[in-house]
Structures are given as structure tokens and as C-alpha cells.
């Protein structure tokens, strides 16, 4: 229920791959979010007992549903499968290492309807723990500007106190099901599928849908030591291949959306790609230096 005499159904869709320990931690938080009709977990070919975890949770809460891929197809395919299986008018995407404020769906829904938008998301901050989430969010917001860097490593938050029409949103967005029926996550992005959510949003923008940023609620992503991570589409691939996928996917993205990106005063695909590669090089050099301290 989002307002007087307005009843809306929402499915939370969470793709996951071999991250059972993280899902065991975050699944209960999705179940605690107000205004959710079902929590759809898309097991993208896991072999670590993820399906058994979800099936056990479903016995206790009928809202928990399992969609299972027989093999790993990638996060874009998992997002598409989740929307196809969802039975609600709206879908709110989650992540297996992320969690929402309990009012996330309700607040986004009200503001989406107020602005007659089609996609809406709140800020997403990296956090150390559930208890520190609001302090971590406050510190994160204090560092931000509205400028979109040419590397396109933009934050999943905007320094504003009011709703803003904005397409550079976090993956954890509430969308009208009708959007997902017309716009699909592009399964052509390789490996870790870097840029798949940005691609979806710019596809939707180009198709005439309205995208909003809402600062009145928030979601959070746990800080994860990727060197110790045992799940997700990063695992089992050498670091150089991970970086290659990111560079390749970014090039696909900037070429595909050159016209839409130009609306935000961003330069040509070649310049954007050069800035992205340079930024990646800076990060790699910094990480290398830290290893020798």
C-alpha cells in the first residue's frame, strides 16, 4: 500500500551465484522490507547449496520463491529471468551482498507515482555493517558532486535533497514491469557483465521512459574483500581477464549509447574509453603500491 486507496504489488528480484553465505545474511533483510509481495531469488547455476538455502526459507515464508538456472548464464540473464517469473506490477532489483532500508520499496513507490516515473532508485553506499549504514551513507554523500566523470565511474548517489530526473542509478531500482517487458538486460556483456545495469537504464531512457533518483530512502552494499570472495562472476577468472572484460564491456557501452551520453555533455566514445582505461590503470598502480607497503 503506497497511499490512500492505492494497492501496488512488488516483487524483489535478487540474482545470485555461489554466494550462499552472503545470501544467508541478506535474504532476511529483503523479507523484512515493507510492501513486498514476493522475494524472487534467481540462482544462476550455483553449486554451493544456494538453492537449498532458498527452499528452506520458502518453507517458512511463502513469499520467497526460487528461479534456478541449470548453468551460469550471467547476471544480465538472471535479472531478465527474475522479471519474467515475477508476478507483480513492479519489480525491485536487489543484490546478494546488498540490503534495503525497511521502507525502501514503499518510499520509492510513492515518489515514482508522484512523478509519473517508470524507474526510480535511492542512493547506494558501501558499508561495513548494518549498524553503521547511516553514518557510512552520510560520509559517502559528503564526498559527492553532480559531475559525471569521463571514466563513467559515477557514484550511485547524487548530492541533492529533492527527487531528480537522472539515469545514472544504482542496480537496486524499482521499475514498472512494463519497462522490463520492452527493455531487456543485454546479455552480450562479458564475464562479470560490467555496465549491464547502466546499459539497461540508458536503453530505457532512449525508449522514452522516465528515470528518477530519490534521496529519501537508501540501500547499501557490504564491503567485500574480492580476494577472499568465493562466489559471483568474478571468481575463477585471472585478474587480467577481469580487467579485460571491464574494458571490453565499457567500449561496448560507450559505442552503443554515444547519442544518449552526449546529452549529458560527455565526449566521444574514444575519449570516454581512454579516460576509463586511464582510471583503471591508476587504480591498478595504487593497488600494486599498497601490496609493497
Q: Which of 202-206, 240-244, 245-249 has the lowest mean pLDDT?
A: 240-244
| Continuous segment of H or E residues that includes residue 134 | helix 133-142
Q: Work out the mean pLDDT of the chain and round it to a whole number.
A: 91
First to last CA, the chain: 54
Q: What is the DSSP secondary structure assignment for residue 6, as one 8-state letter?
A: B
Query: CB count, 10 Å around CB of 265?
Result: 8
- What average pLDDT score do residues 27-50 get? 96
As a whole number of angstroms, the distance between CA 292 and CA 28 comes to: 40
| CATH placement of domain 10-237 | 3.90.550.10
Task: Give me the percent of the chain exceeding a pLDDT of 90.
Answer: 82
pTM of the model: 0.92
Q: Which residue would you say has higher pLDDT here, 225 or 177?
A: 177
Evaluate if residue 26 carries a pLDDT over 80. yes
Q: Name 11's Cβ contacts closer than 8 Å, sequence gap at least 6.
A: 36, 37, 38, 39, 40, 82, 86, 87, 88, 90, 91, 92
Would the pLDDT of 233 be above 80? no
Closest by CA position to 250, among listed 171, 210, 192: 192
Amino acid at each position: 500500500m503506497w497511499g490512500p486507496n492505492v494497492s501496488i504489488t512488488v516483487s524483489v528480484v535478487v540474482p545470485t551465484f555461489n554466494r550462499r553465505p552472503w545470501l544467508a545474511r541478506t535474504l532476511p533483510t529483503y523479507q523484512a522490507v515493507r510492501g513486498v509481495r514476493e522475494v524472487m531469488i534467481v540462482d544462476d547455476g550455483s553449486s554451493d547449496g544456494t538453492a537449498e538455502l532458498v527452499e528452506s526459507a520458502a518453507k517458512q515464508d511463502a513469499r520467497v520463491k526460487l528461479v534456478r538456472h541449470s548453468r551460469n548464464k550471467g547476471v544480465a540473464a538472471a535479472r531478465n529471468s527474475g522479471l519474467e517469473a515475477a508476478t507483480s506490477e513492479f519489480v525491485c532489483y536487489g543484490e546478494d551482498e546488498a540490503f534495503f532500508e525497511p521502507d525502501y520499496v514503499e518510499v520509492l513507490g510513492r515518489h515514482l507515482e508522484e512523478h509519473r516515473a517508470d524507474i526510480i532508485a535511492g542512493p547506494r553506499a558501501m558499508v561495513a555493517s548494518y549498524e553503521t549504514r547511516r553514518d557510512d551513507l552520510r560520509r559517502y554523500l559528503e564526498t559527492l558532486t553532480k559531475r559525471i566523470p569521463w571514466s563513467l565511474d559515477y557514484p550511485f548517489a547524487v548530492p541533492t535533497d529533492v527527487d531528480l530526473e537522472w539515469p545514472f542509478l544504482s542496480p537496486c531500482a524499482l521499475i514498472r514491469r512494463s519497462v522490463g517487458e520492452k527493455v531487456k538486460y543485454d546479455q552480450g556483456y562479458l564475464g562479470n557483465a560490467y555496465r549491464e545495469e547502466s546499459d539497461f537504464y540508458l536503453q530505457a531512457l532512449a525508449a522514452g521512459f522516465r528515470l528518477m533518483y530519490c534521496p529519501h530512502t537508501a540501500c547499501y552494499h557490504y564491503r567485500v574483500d574480492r580476494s577472499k570472495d568465493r562466489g559471483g562472476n568474478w571468481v575463477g577468472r585471472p585478474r587480467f581477464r577481469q580487467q579485460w572484460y571491464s574494458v571490453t564491456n565499457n567500449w561496448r557501452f560507450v559505442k552503443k549509447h554515444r547519442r544518449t551520453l552526449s546529452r549529458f555533455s560527455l565526449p566521444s566514445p574514444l575519449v570516454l574509453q581512454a579516460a576509463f582505461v586511464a582510471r583503471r590503470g591508476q587504480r591498478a598502480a595504487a593497488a600494486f603500491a599498497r601490496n609493497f607497503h
